[in-house]
Structure 1
Amino acid sequence: MTSPLTPPTPPHRRPAQSSRSGEAERQPWQLPASGTDVTGLTGATGTAYGPDGQDGPGMKTEVREGAVITVAVALGGVLMGLLWLWLAPRVPLVGDVTGNTWVVYLKDSEGEQAVGVDGTFTLLALAFGVLSAVAVFLVRRRGGVPLVVALCVGSLLGAVLAWRLGVWLGPQQDVIAHAQAVGKGVTFPAPLKLGAKGALLAWPLAALVVHLGITALFGPRDPEGYDSVSA
C-alpha cells in the first residue's frame, strides 16, 4: 500500500517589515545618532574636515601662517644685502680739481663693474628664491593660495630690503665729499647702485616657479577614487 504524499514544508519566510524600516535598510548611509560628535569626520574622498565643515586647517589659520612666512622670507633680505655688499664688484672713481671745482669721473670708462653689480644682485636673488621656495615647501607641504601669496610678497620685500641695506652699508653716497676726503687723483669706490630695477623681481619669480614645480612633483596627492565599502 502506497503512503500518501506529504506536501513539502513551506520555507521559512522573513516577517514583513514596515515601510519605514525597509527604507532604512535600503539607505547605505545613515546620519549619526543625536549627540554624536561629528568633528573630524572623514569625507568620501578621505579628506579630513574641521569644525567649520571645510578641509584643511581653515582660512584664518592659513592667513596667520602666511603672515609668519612673509616676515621670515623678508628677513632673508638682510643676509642677501650683506652678501651683495661683499661680492659685488667695485666701480672705481677718481676725483680731480678744475679751478676751484671738484669733479669725479670713472677711472676705467670701458669697465663692466656696473654691469657686474646688477648681475651679482640678480644671481643672489635667484639663489634666494630657490632656497626660500624649498624651505617653505618643507615647512608646509600642503600649499594653498595664502601660502603662495605670502611667499611672493615676502620675496619682494626681501629683495627691496637687500637692495636698500646694501646701498646704505656701501660706500659713501656723496662722491664729491668722498673725493675731497681721499684727495686729488686717488681712486675710491663708487656708491653701490642697482641700475636694473627689474632685478628686484628675480627673487619672487624664482620662488614662485620653484615652489609650484616642487609642489606639483612632490606635494600630497588627493585620493583617486572612493574607498571601497565592505558589505
Structure 2
Amino acid sequence: MSAPLTPPPPPHEGSSHDAWQPPSAGPVADPSGKDGSAGNAGGYGWYGQDGPAMKTEVREATVIAVAVALGGALLGVLWWWLAPRVPLVGDVVGGNWVVYLKDTEGEQAVGVDGTFALLALGFGGVSALAVFLVRRHGGVPLVVALAVGGLLGSLLAWRIGIWLGPAQDVIAQARSVGKGVAFDAPLKLSAKGALLAWPFAALVLHLGLTALFGPRDPDPLLPDPYIPQGP
C-alpha cells in the first residue's frame, strides 16, 4: 500500500523571489536642509534662479533702459530737423502785438505730431530688434526695461526738440521780424499720445520676435512606466 501524497508547503509570504519590491527611489532630500539637499532641490539650483540670476537680469535691464532712453536725444534732433514748420505772423491791434496763423487751413501742426509719432515707431522697432539680438530670451525685467526706456526716450526727445526749435516767446519774435512778416512757430506736441508710440512699438515687436525666434523651453522628461517582468 503506497503512502498518501502530501501537498507541498505553501510559499513563505516574505519570500524575496515571489514578492515584488519597488525600485529604489534613491536618497530622499532632507526638507530641513541640514544635509544640503533642500537648497538644491534635485540639482536644479533654485537658488541660482531666484537669487544671483534675478539680480543679474535686473542689472542688465537697467543698462538696457538707460541705453534706450539715451536714444531719445537722436529722436529729438530728427524731429526738430524733419518736422514741418508752422508759419505765424504778427500784427498790432490797439497798440498791442497779436500773433496768429498765416495759413489757417494748413496742416503743418498735424504734421508735427505725425512726424514725431512715425519717428518714435521707427525707434521702437530698432530698439526692440537690437535688444533681441543682444538677449534672445524674454523676461519680465527685459520687457519693463524696454517700456520704461522707450517712454523716457520719448520724453527726452520731446524736450530736446522744443529746445532746438524756435523760441517760445512768439511776441518777441513778431516784434523782431516786423509786422506782417512770417516766422516759424515753436515746436509743439499737441497729441501727447505720441509719446507712447515708442514703448508700444518696442513691446509689440520684441514679444513677436521672442515668440517666433526665441529659445524654446525643453519638454519635461517623463519617467518610464514600470513594466513587471515574468518569473
Question: TM class, shorter-chain normalised?
Answer: 0.7 to 0.9
TM-score after normalising by structure 2: 0.77
Give the aligned partner of residue 74 of structure 1. Answer: 69
Give the aligned partner of residue 205 of structure 1. Answer: 200
2:92 is aligned with 1:132: no
Distance 1:56 1:228, change over 3 A: farther
Distance 1:57 1:213, change over 3 A: farther
Please, which of 85, 88, 91 is the counterpart of residue 90 of structure 1?
Answer: 85
2:63 is aligned with 1:104: no
Please, which of 138, 141, 147 is the counterpart of residue 143 of structure 1?
Answer: 138
Distance 2:145 2:181 in 1: 47
Distance 2:26 2:174 in 1: 85
Q: Deviations over 1:39-65 (max 9, x none)?
A: 9x964xxxxx47x24279611111111
Corresponding residue SS for 2:69: helix
Corresponding residue SS for 1:26: coil
Q: Deviations over 1:74-102 (max 9, x none)?
A: 00100000000000000000111224211
The letter of the residue matching 1:150 is: A
TM-score after normalising by structure 1: 0.77
2:187 is aligned with 1:219: no
Distance 1:227 1:188 in 2: 75
Distance 2:43 2:166 in 1: 61
Distance 1:196 1:136 in 2: 28
4+ residue runs of structure 1 moved beyond 6 angstroms? none
Corresponding residue SS for 1:96: strand
Bigger shift: 90-99 or 185-194?
A: 90-99
Q: Deviations over 1:100-125 (max 9, x none)?
A: 21111111000000000000000011
Distance 1:29 1:145 in 2: 37
Distance 1:139 1:57 in 2: 20
Give the aligned partner of residue 24 of structure 2. Answer: 27
- Give unmatched runs, 5+ long, in structure 2: 1-15, 30-34, 225-231
Question: Over aligned residues, Cα RMSD in angstroms?
Answer: 2.8
Identical-residue share of aligned pairs (%): 70
